Amino acid sequence: MGVLMSRRQTVERVQKVSLAVSAFKDGLREQPSTRRRAEAGTARQGTLEQEVQEGEEEASAGPSQPEESSASKAAWERLRDGRGVEPEEFERANRFTPPAFIRPKRELHDDEPPDISLEQREQIVNDEMCEICEVWTAESLFPCRICPRVYHDGCLRRMGYLQKDSAVEVTETAHTETGWSCYYCDNLNLLLTEEEMYSLMETLKNCKIIPESCLTLDDFLHYKHQVHKQQFERTMPEAQEEQAALQFNALDPDKKGHIEWQDFLSHESIQLLQKIRPQNALLRLLTPKERERARAAFLALDQDNDGFIGEGECRQARHSWFRKHQKEMLSCNVSISHVGPISEGSPASSRNGKSPEKILPATKQEETRSIDWLGFLRENVAYILAARPNSAALHLQPLA
Same domain (yes/no): 294, 381: yes
* Residues 128, 193, 276, 309, Cα dihedral to 10°: 0
180 with 203, same domain: the answer is no
Residue 275 pLDDT: 93
Residue pLDDT, tens place only, 299-351: 999 988 888 999 888 888 887 765 554 443 333 333 333 333 333 333 333 33
> How sure is the predictor about 224, in pLDDT bands with cuts at 50, 70 and 90?
very high
At 92, which amino acid appears? R
Between the two ends of the chain, the Cα-to-Cα distance in Å is: 61
Task: Examine the domain organization and report whether 205 and 252 are in the same domain.
Answer: yes
In a shared domain, residues 150 and 203: no
14-41 residue pLDDT tens: 555 555 555 545 554 544 444 444 444 4
**Residue 82 covered by a domain:** no
Residue 164, domain member (yes or no)? yes
Last residue of a domain, one of 261, 291, 315: 261
The last residue of one of the domains, among 158, 186, 214, is 186
CA atoms of 181 and 396, how far apart (whole Å)? 17
pLDDT exceeds cutoff 70 at 263:
yes
The confidence score (pLDDT) of residue 389 equals 93
**What burial class does residue 116 get, using C-beta atoms within 10 Å of its C-beta: 0-12 exposed, 13-18 middle, 19+ buried?**
middle
Q: Which residues pair with 259 in a beta bridge?
A: 215
Q: Does residue 182 lie in a domain region? A: yes
pLDDT value, residue 53 = 56
> What is the total count of domains within the chain?
3
Give the end of a domain, one of 235, 261, 287: 261
For residue 33, is it within any domain? no
| Whole-Å CA distances, 39 to 19, 259, 285 | 19, 53, 58
Residue 266 lies in a domain: no
Q: Decide if 256 is inside a domain.
A: yes
- pLDDT value, residue 274: 94
The CATH number of residue 134's host domain is 3.30.40.10
Residues 377, 318: one domain? yes
- The reply to whether 272 falls in a domain is no
Do 148 and 237 belong together in one domain? Answer: no
Q: Please state the rounded mean pLDDT for residues 114-138.
A: 88
In this structure, are 127 and 212 located in the same domain? no
Task: Give residue 244's domain range.
Answer: 193-261
The model carries a pTM of: 0.71
Question: Which helix (DSSP H) or strand (DSSP E) does residue 259 occupy?
Answer: strand 258-259
Supply the pLDDT for residue 267.
96
What CATH number corresponds to the domain at position 207?
1.10.238
Please give the single-letter amino acid code of residue 274: Q
Residue 184 has pLDDT above 70, yes or no: yes
Residues 174 and 201 in one domain: no
Sign of the four-CA dihedral 367, 373, 374, 377: positive
